[in-house]
A and B are shown apart, each in its own frame.
Chain A
């Protein structure tokens, strides 16, 4: 008698594995901030997560091996042994993850590069948007946004591309998603939209991307555009505009960040509205953290800590993280003014339900509370590990000493703790060279990522640091929670001691190029990072 095995266990295993991949359990780094929640967390075990091995971190290959490309502002994504990244020269590169060998580039060397005629900051130079991996009609695809002079006005309007990840062959190209109808600075009759600061979110059968502008010259109406994953055509059922209606002439609320997604919603942050405008538009979704219906774009809740009257251009530039903590799910991000905010995923009576702000403060801010909210460069996204959120933040001395100190300092927050125990640890990232006279924003740290308590981050001096949460490796010491207070006076002054984590590795990359926009990608025990010196490096312990 032949007994037929039930296919159920196999089906369960396949389903589980599929869920595992969907849920971000990837050993790879298939998206900006690793996954659709934008947690910047590599959950799999590897040598990078081992504090005893991290000190051995060293460069294993460099691309290009000789010479240099233009600066990299995009971050690498890694999938099935390939590294994908766009460059300011307008080309996307696919490299062998083990050797750094070039597999293909798009467009080919013989074809025009993907560049814009309107260039004013790093987000408008070639391909600044990080790519994302997806399955398109059964094919592994790499999807990215870039300007393209072969469409529309011919000036470099922004669109999305889907390429075969194995060959670089085109699968589809979207219609224009970011309009560029002229290059006259300040023109209010031309569209000056761009997508360089937003990485595509692949979420179910849609791809979402945020639309901002070219250097506020002038500000444009912020939008999120969704296209169909299978074809790249615009999903006309989804519509989000930051001010007024999508058809009116109001401006502002540029989406300078990447969209995050989970369940029935997508999450986004928006930029300034007041620049060059006399009246506040209605509605005004600028300078906000937003939860949107993923199918329609309708606003489910809005958290706007800085009201119109205080809008000094603190664009909310950092991408949000969906933080599924032990005390509940929250959306966390740091605004450009140096304040970090956590908002419950679930609304309260239809409005946003704030969980906490650091440094602690009542929101919305008011004109009489003494706070200032300008373009003070807290633009980096944070990383999520269990109940810990690692980010740049203005710190407990934000209002008393100004905003610049926190730009070289990493904060880790206990997201579920009370305000008194919010700060988990504090680290002044080591600097190797003095700041130039008058450089008030020196010294800058890039976007942290984390794997099992090991934090990796680049710096504007071209270093990669490995930092251990004190729960996995002893702290180097304890310091006052307010960076302006001497340890001897800390408790008496009304503050508390917090640990300073140990920097287990501090690797100077050969080109010394800044790493403030690009994030490290952690995949299968390897760290991939790109610099403004025009190189991609692979490091491993």
Chain B
């Protein structure tokens, strides 16, 4: 459907690249000959560096001044007017291709409602499709281009001959940009022949007889068409949707009039190969292997729980990530959700066992269960009514210390008890506690008068966020991250138990009009909120909730919220395949 649109469109970019012909070298089967060939891509980017970089497929559409194209909450496509956009074209969809919208950057900031359609970005000069964007995650454009149905349509490559003083036929080898199984590919190879008459003088030469050798060539075998476009485009085109991965090549010949004025040899023949690598579709590579049935500390690949009490719905789900399923490893994430009927308290814990530590699945499990259990015990000790009184009193500034102390006692101790319990387990098992490394996001909620009191203790990545009816986002805990990915703090570290360290990990809020609380491990925060600033972004949360809506109805009367969360957790985002755990609180 989409592809049909480009049948009659022209290619852009007439960049010319000079190929230096070899001197007196034989081309038949000698691999050294290929060294005389140039690969053309760098030359293309030299001519138009910044634009080419931004437009090249597979790289970001992000320039120095932010995303070139973004999509706002209402699915309007916004074009950044600061950026040079002359190469892109967006038009309203007028054809029967109702799932396509063209975007015209010349009219910057125009709003086109994509609804649930897909969008595409076109090159205005050539009409080439640069990028297809699906509205599902369009706000991510430029950040995760691979997850949004990229159409692999590329700029033309050029071969230019310098046919002066050529006595021998010679051969070439060029590599097309890599493609991927199942993704549209289109590449034009431009052939230019030029005879140098003097250093500054040259003459264009006619290209004759482009021939693709072998009817059943490698490209055809995998469903790619290859055609000679000598008239319209002056070269060949390769296009289609590759059906199998691997390295493929096609033999090609063409000729130009010779520089031999004695006409002993009327033309120079070029022959060589066009090579293409097709990547496998990563989705086809993931295996789903069961975990070891005899392994210690068994854990099911998925888990879920739902509680509906006193007008509040709380649901949680956890799913083993593809990276673990691929190797038959256990789920390292865990959660524990409990409602304390007596005092009307909610306690939610989510934890992510460190992927590099062999027994972390047990660490995360103990962390959640023990922390929740310990909060319950501490609350009993404090007394339920004393807790509420302290919270209410703490609204005056002079009394703020008492709630801090109280939370330190409850949440700080709960975390510390969990740490000790893991230590004990490690000792019993005869392994260092490091093997049980886990993060912990612990949340305590209680309705006090018309407001919700929410307090968290968090160590490591993942996050807890409260969203108000107004859309305002309160980040109750933000990921702790090192300079490189995967570096974070763990509950199992001995260095995090100084009083001030414990205190700084505790946060609390008294919230009006609470709509939701989300507690998540990094398997979800990573793909959806690419940095800590994003995690408190009202727009991103609004998009997130809209995005999951088709699968997850965040309503109090949804008695299957846990199931739908679990189904949703299987979502696909390129490069993000960690375990995923979420707990949602709908008051």
Real complex partners, A and B?
A: no
Residues of A participating in the B interface, judged by any CB pair closer than 8 Å? none
B→A interface (CB under 8 Å) = none
